[in-house]
Amino acid sequence: MDWFFLLIAGFAEVGSVISLKHADGFKKWLPSVACLFFGSVSFYFLSLSLTSLPVGTAYAIWTGIGSVGSVLAGIMFFHEPRSLRSILLIMCILTGAVGIKLTSGH
């Protein structure tokens, strides 16, 4: 269950970043509330996952999901530039997160 909680936390982090982009420096009310909501959900589920997962492992996976998800969301929704180099670097983050998961013993 803890890994599932960690996945929810990571995806909620992506939701928070997308909302933050739309919030325009917290000038827009609805995206600002969404950002705070998703951020709270993210931290809540991260805290639940930390009841049994090592903090270093959970944090690395959480930030990996958030980083990769945010880059992909930027490319898909905000038409941010993409290149072979950026795709390769995203793959490095994914490889590192999977490696940490496989070697964590959980």
pLDDT tens digits in sequence order for the chain, 106 residues long = 999 999 999 999 999 999 999 999 999 999 999 999 999 999 999 999 999 999 999 999 999 999 999 999 999 999 999 899 988 999 999 899 888 888 877 6
Tokens standing for 15? 């939701």
Q: Which token pair is 68?
A: 């990769």
Q: What residue has token string 């919030």? A: 23
Q: Are 42 and 65 in contact (CB under 8 A)?
A: no
What pLDDT, on the 0 to 100 scale, is given for residue 103? 85
Query: Strand runs (DSSP E) across 1-106, as ranges?
Result: none
pLDDT of residue 30: 98
pLDDT at residue 104 in the model: 75
DSSP character string of 14-41:
HHHHHHHHHHTTTTSHHHHHHHHHHHHH
pLDDT of residue 91: 92
